[in-house]
Structure 1
Amino acid sequence: MPVHPDLSAFLELAEFGRLTGKSQPMHTLPVAQARADFERSSQILDPNPPGAVEVQVLQLSTRDGGVLDGRLYRLASTADQVLPTILYFHGGGYVVGSLDSHDSVCRRLALSGEFAVLAPAYRLAPEYPFPAAVHDALDSVAALKEQAELLHLDPQRLVVAGDSAGATLAAVLAITAANHPEQIALKPQAQLLFYPVTDMSVQRASHRTYAEGYLLETDTLAWFYQHYAGSAAERQDWRASPLLSGQTAAQAPAYISLAEYDPLFDEGVAYAELLKQGGTPVQLTVEQGLSHDFLRMSGIVESVDDIYRRALQWLVTNACG
């Protein structure tokens, strides 16, 4: 279908900014400026996130003796309830993105009161290249297990989730739990993957069809990958490209939500098929008329609220009810 009219208007403004020199593609910017611009975009895409959600600041221990910042989101009315947890990893190509840039996403996932949402601030490239983010994701699971009782979280009802590169980290955790259970502290009961990166090693037709003009650009993906996984060997590692994991043991049920206008569309479809072939229950949804990063667009596209509703309803019905 055509680009959603609300999104289309936003894309036209973005293109006008580029033509007039007021904005530049992310891949042409220094990393620090790209990060700052990405943070500012959250105020445009979703300026009024739900305020009814309580946020607790946490610290999560890592294997090297360090700590990651984290945030726990839940409704105040559930403070004394032991809730299942969505462990949520933000997007941003492993280079940009933060707890702040995806604060609205975590608030909206916690708004129903059915789940608590734990968001770790995993380390970013180029300062911390592959596989640092993977190690941080695994360490976040271990930290959740350690703190679950204190935080009133049910460690046996874990959902791994994320968008874009964050969805890749969630997918890696699900693969690890299925194939290498000794390497992960908890076994996820479900995975929510929104427009994941599943294969850094090649470009597919959607990389060319939606290369420019739909927020995420193919050249920006290449810029991200160069910072995070600079060598061909790293990009072919299944921890960077889950599609290359091959046939794995059946994993936790997966809800995969893709954007129609996204360079990553084809590899998302291919990953859903790989999971199905391995016996993993998969719910694949395609958000027609939308582009990459739609989870952060509640302020400009009204139908995004329904995307959250459907994903959470699937979780309650199929995995962590």
Structure 2
Amino acid sequence: MSLHPELSAFLDLVEEGRLAGRPPLHALSAELARETFEQASAGLVWAWPQTQQVARRELTVRTRDGASLALRLYLPEVAGAQPWPVLLYLHGGGYVVGSLDSHDGICAELAWRTPCAVLAVDYRRAPEHRFPTALFDAEDALLWLVAEGAEHGLDATRLAVGGDSAGATLATVLAIQAAQAPQQWPPIRLQLLCYPTTDASRSTVSSELFDEGYLLESATLEWFYSHYQRTPADRLDWRFSPLLCEHLQGAAPAFVGLAQYDPLHDEGQAYAERLQQAGVTVTCRSYAATHDLLRMGAVMPGVDQVYKELASHLAQALAN
């Protein structure tokens, strides 16, 4: 299926900006890349009425190394039995860019549509904080949810983990760890993985075919990975590249949403297949879109239907 004309027009505008001298993220410093990403994110905001019916609470927790970690809790303003089931959500951005604000719309939509609580994690970013700091922050947020969630109206026994892009990668690791060490981690009912990065150790057909011109470029991916890693050997660690994990048995059921025009498409599909081979129940969808699909509601039609599908799977998984 071909790209929607409105999305193609958006990509043309991006390319015009490039030709006019606007540099790609991988040509910038991390600090400037974050500013640029946040500015671009403001232009992708869509005003769906559902997002106005979600309450937001700003929370702060302490990490294992004493740092202050920001969380944002989304609670749907609808009548419902308390406590709420919860989705622990990790934003994308290649571990370098992205924030609670840049992915606020995603979390609000999922909270309202499911309905469920969504707990978003402002994990620390690279290169100031390299692998595995982002993962440790995600783990600490999960442990806080188990220990303190009830005080905020959350039911940690009805738990899903999810994210987009690099955030989805972190979610895969949490789900694998929960299966491998159930005495240490809470049971997870669903892993909601949207265009995850699953193997930073090699290239694929899609990473070469959609190398540039489709929003996320392979050069930018390499820039992200080089900022996140401590040494190149980190890319062979399954917590960096979950596709390399040898033991996926017992992991939570997965919904894997992929974008057809995305350099990450093939590795995401390969991961879905590996989960299935390990006996995990998997629903895999491939949408005629580019990377960052979930933030494209203002750019192309059809994103609303994607959210309906995501919320439907979440609701089923988190039901009593």
Displacement of 1:113: 5.3
Question: Hey, what's the Cα distance between the residues in 1 that align with 2:228 and 2:19?
Answer: 30
CA contact (8 A) 1:78 1:113 kept: no
Displacement of 1:319: 5.0
Q: What is the TM-score of this pair, normalised by structure 2?
A: 0.96
Question: Hey, what's the Cα distance between the residues in 2 that align with 1:319 and 1:75?
Answer: 15
Question: Hey, what's the Cα distance between the residues in 2 that align with 1:86 and 1:320?
Answer: 12
Matched residue count: 318
Provide structure 2 residue ranges, at least 5 long, that are not aligned to the other structure.
none
The 3-state SS of whatever aligns with 1:77 is coil
CA contact (8 A) 2:76 2:115 kept: no
Cα distance change on mapping 1:318 and 1:141 into 2, 3 Å: closer
CA contact (8 A) 1:94 1:165 kept: yes
Displacement of 1:179: 1.1
Question: Hey, what's the Cα distance between the residues in 2 that align with 1:267 and 1:15?
Answer: 26
Displacement of 1:317: 2.6
CA contact (8 A) 2:139 2:174 kept: yes
CA contact (8 A) 2:114 2:314 kept: no
Residue 25 (structure 2) pairs with residue 26 (structure 1)? yes
Cα distance change on mapping 1:183 and 1:225 into 2, 3 Å: farther
Question: Hey, what's the Cα distance between the residues in 2 that align with 1:282 and 1:245?
Answer: 17
The 3-state SS of whatever aligns with 2:78 is helix
Match of 2:259 in 1: 259
Question: Hey, what's the Cα distance between the residues in 1 that align with 2:41 and 2:80?
Answer: 28
Match of 2:294 in 1: 295
What is the CA deviation profile of residues 240-262 of structure 1, one whole-angstrom value per residue up to 9, with x for unaligned ones? 00000023222110000000000
The 3-state SS of whatever aligns with 1:18 is helix
Equivalence map 1:222-261=2 (5 Å): 222-261=222-261
Identify the range of structure 1 (123-132 vs 58-67) with the bigger mean alpha-carbon deviation.
Answer: 58-67
RMSD of aligned residue pairs (Cα, Å): 1.4
CA contact (8 A) 1:80 1:152 kept: no
What is the CA deviation profile of residues 63-121 of structure 1, one whole-angstrom value per residue up to 9, with x for unaligned ones? 11222101001122358721110100000000000001001111111112521100010
Question: Hey, what's the Cα distance between the residues in 2 that align with 1:299 and 1:152?
Answer: 32
Provide structure 1 residue ranges, at least 5 long, that are not aligned to the other structure.
none
Question: Hey, what's the Cα distance between the residues in 2 that align with 1:99 and 1:181?
Answer: 29
Identify the range of structure 1 (28-37 vs 69-78) with the bigger mean alpha-carbon deviation.
Answer: 69-78
Match of 1:57 in 2: 58
Question: Hey, what's the Cα distance between the residues in 2 that align with 1:308 and 1:174?
Answer: 22
CA contact (8 A) 2:189 2:317 kept: no
Residue 21 (structure 2) pairs with residue 17 (structure 1)? no
Match of 2:144 in 1: 143
Match of 2:42 in 1: 43
Question: Identity over the aligned pairs, expressed in percent?
Answer: 48
Cα distance change on mapping 1:113 and 1:250 into 2, 3 Å: closer
CA contact (8 A) 1:252 1:280 kept: yes
Which one-letter code corresponds to 1:271 in the other structure? Y
Match of 1:101 in 2: 102
The 3-state SS of whatever aligns with 1:150 is helix
The 3-state SS of whatever aligns with 1:36 is helix
Identify the range of structure 1 (50-59 vs 127-136) with the bigger mean alpha-carbon deviation.
Answer: 50-59
CA contact (8 A) 1:89 1:167 kept: yes
Match of 1:121 in 2: 122
Q: What is the TM-score of this pair, normalised by structure 1?
A: 0.96
Task: Show structure 1 runs of 4+ deviating over 3 A.
Answer: 318-321
Which one-letter code corresponds to 1:298 in the other structure? G
Displacement of 1:145: 1.1
